[in-house]
Structure formats: structure tokens, C-alpha cells
Amino acid sequence: MKNIVIIGNGIAGITAARHIRKKSNDRITVISGETDHFFSRTALMYIYMGHMKYEHTKPYEDWFWTKNKIDLVKGWVQAIDFDKKILHLDTDDINYDQLIIATGSKSNKFGWPGQNLEGVQGLYSYQDLESMESNTQNIDHAVVVGGGLIGIEMVEMLHSRHIPVTFLVREASFWDIVLPPEESEMINRHIREYGIDLRLSTELDQILDDGHGKVKGVKTKSGDVIDCQFVGLTVGVSPNIDFLRDTKLQVDRGILVNEFLETNIPDVYAIGDCTQVREPLQHRKPIEAVWYAGRMMGETVAQSILGNKTAYKPGVWFNSAKFFDIEYQVYGQVNPNPKSNEKSFYWEDLFGKKGVRIVFDSNSMQVLGMDALGIRFRHEVWDEWISSGEKIEKVITNLKKSLFDPEFFKEVDVEIQEKFNREHHSSVPVRKKSILEKIFS
Ligand SMILES: Cc1cc2nc3c(=O)[nH]c(=O)nc-3n(C[C@H](O)[C@H](O)[C@H](O)COP(=O)(O)OP(=O)(O)OC[C@H]3O[C@@H](n4cnc5c(N)ncnc54)[C@H](O)[C@@H]3O)c2cc1C
């Protein structure tokens, strides 16, 4: 019987463990220093906001692990002896025959003066959530630095507790390194409508000490001083691999893996956020720190461990997030500025709360990607359209098929079809609205 050990009980490590267990009786051990059980990291914000308890974020009941003979060990792996196949934990040593490293990410810090003061923190782990809970008791003002997905979640969390927030964003518009201008502008407006003091094109210079080791404010590069008792540093994440640097394991920004998620050391694999794919497929990045990629890597590596060597083929890019109450989905390629071969069609509703962009190739007219704000679309439909290179006119014609909740978003597809025809001198058949839709539109 083999001894398979997984470091990390996040989505990547746990998916691997579950899929191996489905077809193998080998011994499986999952180690994590963070929590006893797997929980949904993406739901951390809802615990702070009082919508969920920690117990609700655990996708499996605690008995699931014993029943499925997956041994859980709580502890931090300090070092790995790859020659002897031994993990050194803070309290114990554990041997392995095959090792899967799935240690996730850590929050970035860029050496700002004052970044280690009390009341200054990132948001990644369950421990971060606990310190945010205590750091934000009885405070008058908070500053969040970094305009990405975790930054806006932290702003929403603080806002839910009626804590006034200043949101410092280095870029000229929210997340404009990913979102095209119209989408980014919609989110700027939305953030401000919530009463958030959004400061664009603003960089942090230093975090100020109250003389007792606690934060009392921040200074921006333009010299403004903002008083606050809490600073959220949400300036991105990087692979959590510091304890693996200067070992035999080849690392760069992340643990380097080939298409089979194998590292340079036999019997050692890496998956999830901590991984850097040596030769990513076209339109994919070497490091993709998202839930969905971690799950797919977990499924893939399980196949190889089970003897069915399988390459990681992530398919069409997908991500989803939420900007306060505006949901966001992206499929395939949607660049902030279209490339030379790309055309982009954008529709936004009258109230500026819903938007849909479809990107297509200007020569072949094949759809390359789409993003949506405030409207949910069906994953499998867009995945199929983009991977099969469906033509834009056909996609626009059949848009209703891809709406997740067509009853709720009745007229959207018709408006999109009409706008597309106007802008592209096209004659895509426009769906006829039902009488009810006409009454309510
Ligand atoms: C607040 C927040 C919101 C997010 N929202 C979204 C979202 O909406 N959509 C999306 O796609 N992604 C989102 N993400 C990102 C997503 O959560 C991650 O991509 C995903 O959780 C990574 O999974 P993983 O299994 O690779 O690593 P992790 O979930 O980080 O799990 C790794 C585990 O390994 C443990 N570990 C690390 N080192 C050691 C060690 N030396 N010894 C023992 N244990 C160790 C860690 O403590 C951790 O428990 C969000 C992340 C955060 C923080």
C-alpha cells in the first residue's frame, strides 16, 4: 500500500484526495496548519459579514474524512527531505511515497514602512479573518490598499459593519489591468454609490505608527495623510513556497511543474495556487491563482497518481467574482484593450448596472471571449461556444439559451440583439418578446 501525502487542505489538495480515494485503497494523509477541515476560502467574507458561520463554509461534514479514510493532520510542514521522502512538521515527521504540494498563496507585502504595525493585515487565511475581527473592533476609519478582487471584498466587509473606508487604488480605474474601460468605470461608480471614498491613481507611501506599535494612519505618495486604525493590504498574492526555496525542488515564482503537474523531483507533484506551469497552453498564464484552476489541477493529478497519466488541460479560461452586489463572470479572452485581431461588442443597461461584452476575431468572426456584469450566464454554453469557435452572429442569435435565469432577465437578450444589429449593420433575428415581457419592460 502506497503512502500518499498532500500538503494543503484547500480546494486543490482536497480535490486530489477525494478523487484518489474514489479509486484507490492507498493511505492518504492531508496536512494543513490553517484549519482542521477544508473550508471555502471564497466564503471568508460572509463569515465576517454575519451571513454564514464558519461551520457553513465546510463543504463536507467532519465525519466525511474518517468514513473515507482520509487522515487529517493539523500542523505546519517546516522542511522536506526529498532524498529520504520525509516531511518535518513542527511536532512530528511524516514519511511519504508520493507527495502532492498544494500550499496555496500568501498575501503580498511590498516593504512599506509600517507594514507590520498592529492593525495592518492582508486577507487570505482563516487566521487573517480572526485578526480582522479583532483589529476592526471600535474603529472610526479603515483604509484598504489595492484594487483587486480581495480588496473590494475587504471594502464590502468593512462597509457591512458601517466602518467608513478609504480605498486606495494605484490604477487610474478599478482593476483596469483586467477589466475593459466600460466595466471598470461601472464598478468605480458602484463603489462610490456605496459611500466608499475611492481614490484612484493613488499609491501608498507609508503606514504611520501611533507611537505604541499600532497604526494611526497612512500617507499617500502625493502627501495626503488619512487617519485610520485599520489598514487592509490587498495588493495581490503570490505562491506560498518560502519554506521550499533553496531546496532541490525547482521553483521560480511558484513550484515549477510540467504538463502532468510533476515537479523536477520524482514522486513529487504540485497543484493549485502554489504552482507555476513551465509551458502554459495558449491564452493561459503560468500562475492562475483561482479556485476553479485548483480544482481542475486536483482532479488531473489524481488521475496520474492512480496510474492514468493525464496532462493538465484547463480549456477555456473562466473566472467569477462579485463587486458588492454586481456579479462578474468572464470566459475566454477579454483583454482590457482589444488586440489587433479582436473586435469587441459591448452592451450596458440603462441604469449602468448590467453589462455584457463579447470579443470576436475580426477576420473569422469567431467568438473569443465574453464578460458579464450583473447577469449570470450558463458556463457550459459559453465554454462550448468559445471552444468550438462559434461565430458571433450565431451567438447573438442564440443568446437566450446562455442566460442562466431567462425568466429573471427577460428582455436583456433582445436589447443586446438590437444594439448589435445597429452597431454592426447586421440583421441577426431579434427574438420576439412575449406579451408579459412587453408589459414589464
Ligand atoms: C478572500 C478571498 C476571496 C477569493 N475569492 C475568489 C473567487 O471569488 N473566485 C476564485 O476563483 N478565487 C477566489 N479566491 C482565490 C481562491 O480562494 C484560491 O485560488 C484557492 O483557494 C487556492 O486553493 P489552493 O488549494 O491552491 O490553496 P489554499 O486554499 O491556499 O490551501 C492551501 C492550504 O495549505 C496550507 N499550507 C500552506 N503551507 C503549509 C505548510 N508549510 N504546512 C502545512 N500547511 C500548509 C495553507 O494554510 C492552506 O490551508 C479568493 C481568495 C481569497 C483569499
Atom nearest to 15 CA in ligand 1:
25
Report pLDDT for 365.
96
Q: What is the pLDDT along the chain (441 residues), one digit of tens a residue?
A: 999 999 999 999 999 999 999 999 999 999 999 999 999 999 999 999 999 999 999 999 999 999 999 999 999 999 999 999 999 999 899 999 999 999 999 999 999 999 999 999 999 999 999 999 999 999 999 999 999 999 999 999 999 999 999 999 999 999 999 999 999 999 999 999 999 999 999 999 999 999 999 999 999 999 999 999 999 999 999 999 999 999 999 999 999 999 999 999 999 999 999 999 999 998 899 999 999 999 999 999 999 999 999 999 999 999 999 999 999 999 999 999 989 999 999 999 999 999 999 999 999 999 999 999 999 999 999 999 999 999 999 999 999 999 987 566 567 888 999 999 999 888 888 877 666 666 565
pLDDT of residue 436: 63
Strands 3-7 and 27-32: parallel
User: Within 13 Å of residue 265, how many CA atoms lie on the same side as its CB?
Assistant: 21
In CATH, which superfamily holds the domain spanning 120-235? Answer: FAD/NAD(P)-binding domain (3.50.50.60)
What is the 114 CA–ligand 1 centroid distance (Å)? 26
Q: Whose CA is nearest to atom 4 of ligand 1?
A: 42
In short, whether 13's Cβ falls inside 6 Å of ligand 1 is yes
Residue 380: partners with Cβ closer than 8 Å, 6 or more residues away = none
Distance CA 356, CA 367 (A): 13
Write out pLDDT tens, residues 243-302.
999 999 999 999 999 999 999 999 999 999 999 999 999 889 999 999 999 999 999 999
303 lines ligand 1 (CB under 6 A): no
Question: What pLDDT shows up at residue 121?
Answer: 98
190 in contact with ligand 1, CB cutoff 6 A: no
Q: Measuring CA to CA, how many Å separate 300 from each of 7, 97, 133? A: 17, 19, 37
**How far, in Å, from the CA of 9 to the mean position of ligand 1?**
9
Which is the closest atom of ligand 1 to the Cα of 125? Answer: 53
State in Å: Cα 104 to ligand 1 middle. Answer: 5
- Strands, DSSP E only, in 139-224? 142-145, 165-168, 197-199, 204-209, 215-220
pLDDT of residue 49: 98
Q: Is the minimum distance from the CB of 239 to ligand 1 under 6 angstroms?
A: no
Q: From the CA of 7, how far away is ligand 1's center (Å)?
A: 12
Q: How far is the CA of 294 from the centre of ligand 1 (A)?
A: 9
Distance, CA 293 to ligand 1 centroid (Å)? Answer: 11
Ligand 1 touching residue 294 (CB < 6 A):
yes
Q: From the alpha carbon of 14, which atom of ligand 1 is closest?
A: 25
Of 3.40.640.10, 3.50.50.60, 2.60.40.10, 1.10.10.10, the CATH number of 3-106+238-305 is 3.50.50.60
Answer yes or no: is the C-beta of 355 below 6 A from any ligand 1 atom.
Answer: no
Distance 210 CA to ligand 1 centre (A): 33
Cα of 309 to ligand 1 centre, how many Å?
Answer: 26
Site to substitute for ligand 1 among 32, 88, 296, 317, most atoms within 8 A of C-beta: 32
Q: Which residue has the cell 514602512?
A: 113
* Atom number in ligand 1 closest to CA 41: 17
CA–CA distances in Å: residue 12 to residues 39, 220, 364: 12, 38, 37
Return the residue whose CA atom lies nearest to atom 26 of ligand 1.
272
Q: Cα–Cα distance between 89 and 80 in angstroms, integer?
A: 9
Ligand 1 binding pocket includes 10 (Cβ within 6 Å): yes
Any ligand 1 atom below 6 A from CB of 57:
no
Task: Give the pLDDT confidence of 369-387 residue by residue, as tens digits.
Answer: 999 999 999 999 999 999 9
Query: Phi first, then psi: what are they for 295, rounded to 5°?
Result: -65, -45
What does the pLDDT read at residue 405?
A: 75
Q: Does 120-235 match 318-440 in CATH topology?
A: yes
Helix, strand or coil, per DSSP, at residue 182 = helix
Ligand 1: atom nearest CA of 32 is 44
Q: Is the alpha carbon torsion for 241, 244, 249, 250 positive or negative? A: positive
Atom of ligand 1 nearest to the CA of 45: 1
Give the phi and the psi of residue 17 in degrees, each rounded to 5. -60, -45
φ, ψ dihedrals at 123, nearest 5°: -135, 100
Of ligand 1's listed atoms, the one at least distance from the Cα of 35 is 49
Domain residue spans in the chain? 3-106+238-305, 120-235, 318-440
Residue 435 pLDDT: 63
Q: pLDDT (tens digit, 9 = 90+) per residue, 343-372?
A: 999 999 999 999 999 999 999 999 999 999
Domain at 318-440: CATH architecture:
3-Layer(bba) Sandwich (3.50)
Q: Please state the atom number of ligand 1 nearest to the C-alpha of residue 105.
A: 30
